[in-house]
Amino acid sequence: MTIFNRFTGNALINNALMTIMAVAKIGGLAEITPELLLDLFNRVSLVETNKRLKSYTMLFSLNNPLVNPAKKANQAGEKTYIRLLLAIMNGFEADGERICEITGLKFNKRFEEFYQEDIDQQKLLINSSSKDPREIKKEIKNLDNTDTSLNRSWFPLIGGLGSDAQTLPQAKFTVNIHPICIAILQFYPYLHYYTKEAFC
């Protein structure tokens, strides 16, 4: 199923789409599908590449679970990152009641819902483990404190519900962004790596 028939007007998304087209060696935007994203995600080892790229942390900050130092134990952040992106790509919606403010795509299930589902799954696994009850309680508390909101650690340059709301009145509202945009943006830092490989 085609995601876009034309470019979006958002520079970040457009550059990420062009990166995907170049890496996948496809001729047109309409060839980008959730299946292609899933294939590329594995083919270019996107997780490992993004972890090494300084451009990734410059764009998405150290609060993103992939690179967050507080979530490095047992690769918890990395596992969350992988599961979340796979769920988004596998759960792509082309229709719904919400409209993406960046691309105009329609959808129902918000990014926060995907994230919360993953947190709930992690809690179930922890509760069913044979760990010490105090350790379980600590891990559950850490999960309960996870910020599942769509913020700048997932989509650069958007406002959030934190301190931005005190200075920017519009920032008190959550931005409606189609979750597939989050998955697509993960390819954007790869542009640096790809162009370096192409010209060296």
Q: pLDDT tens digit string along 104-146? A: 999 999 999 999 999 999 888 888 888 888 888 888 888 888 8
Distance between CA atoms of residues 141 and 17, nearest Å: 38
pLDDT at residue 193 tops 70: no
pTM (2 decimals)?
Answer: 0.87
Q: Which of 7-16, 141-150, 157-166, 190-199 has the highest mean pLDDT?
A: 7-16
pLDDT at residue 200 tops 50: no
In this prediction, residues 180-185 reach a mean pLDDT of 98
Question: In the chain, where are the structural domains located?
Answer: 11-199
Residue 146: per-residue pLDDT: 87
Chain mean pLDDT for the chain: 88
pLDDT at residue 103 tops 70: yes
- What's at 49, amino acid-wise? T
In the DSSP assignment, the letter for residue 107 is E
Torsion of CA 144, 150, 154, 155, to 10 degrees: -170
Lookup: tokens for 3: 């995601």
